[in-house]
Chain A
Amino acid sequence: MASFGLEIPLRGYSYGTRLFLPATEIARNQSIPDLLDKRLVIVTGKGGVGKTTVAVALGLRAASEGKRTIVCEVSSQENTSRMFEHAAVGFHEVEMEENLWSISIDPDESMREYVLLQLKVRAMRDMLFRSRIFNYLAAATPGLKELVTIGKIWELAQLDRKVKSGRKYDLVIVDAPATGHGVGFLQTPRTFASIARVGPIHSQAQQLDRFITDQENTGTAIVALPEEMPVNESMALERDLRDEVGVAVDRVYLNGLYPERFKKEEAEKLSALAETENGASRAAARAALSEFGRARSQRQQLARLKRGVKAPVKTLPFLFEPELDVEAARKLAGKLG
Chain B
Amino acid sequence: MASVGEVLEGKSICICAGSGGVGKTTTSAAIATGMAAQGLKVCVLTIDPAKRLADSLGLAELGNEARRVDPALFEEQGIEMKGELWAMMLDAKATFDELIARQAPDEESRDRVLNNRIYQQISSALAGSQEYMAMEKLFELHTEGGFDLLVLDTPPTRNALDFLDAPKRLTQFIEGKSMRMFMKPTGLAAKVTGRGVSVVLGVFKRLVGFDLIADLAEFFNAFSSMVDGFQARAKRVNSLLADPETCFLVVCGPQGEPIDEAVYFHRKLVEAKLPFGGVIVNKVHYPADELEAEVDDLPAALAEKLGDQNLAKRTADNFADYQALAERDARNIDHLASELRTSCVIRVPYLDEDVHDLHGLTEIDRYLFASAEERVEMAAGRA
Residues on A facing B (Cβ under 8 Å): 46-49, 75-77, 79, 115, 118-119, 124, 127-128, 131-134, 136-144, 177-181, 184, 191, 195-202, 227-229, 232-233, 236, 261-262, 266, 269-270, 273-274, 277, 279-291, 293-294, 297, 301, 320-324
Contact = CB atoms under 8 A, between A and B. Distances in A.
Interface in B163-202: 173, 176, 178-179, 182, 196-197, 199-201
For the residues of B in contact with A, the DSSP-based class is helix
8 contacts: A127-B196, A134-B204, A138-B204, A143-B125, A191-B121, A201-B207, A283-B293, A284-B316
B325 interface: yes
A266 B310 CA distance: 11
Nearest to A202: B209
Contacts of B272: none
A86 to B, nearest CB: 16
B209 A132 contact: no
Interface string B11-54: 00000000111100000000000000000000000001110100
A47 B306 contact: no
Scoring B19, B208, B308 by chain A CB atoms within 10 A of each residue's CB, the highest score goes to B208
Interface residues of B, number: 79
B316 A199 contact: no
Contacts of A301: 354
Nearest to B321: A320
A66 to B, nearest CB: 31
Contacts of B258: 48
Given A46-B156, A133-B200, A283-B380, 7 more contacts: A47-B19, A137-B204, A141-B208, A141-B216, A180-B48, A290-B322, A324-B255
A184 to B, nearest CB: 6
Contact of A290 (B294, B352, B356): B352
Nearest to B261: A77
B38 to A, nearest CB: 26
A284 B325 CA distance: 14
Given A75-B159, A191-B125, A261 B293 contact: no
B1 interface: no
A138 to B, nearest CB: 8
Nearest to A52: B257
Contact of B207 (A49, A199, A287, A294): A199
B263 to A, nearest CB: 14
State the 7 A-B residue pairs at the shortest beta-carbon distance, nearest first: A48-B21, A47-B20, A199-B209, A196-B209, A280-B295, A283-B293, A47-B21
B209 A48 contact: no
A284 B293 contact: yes
Interface string B259-302: 00000000000000000000000000000100111110010011
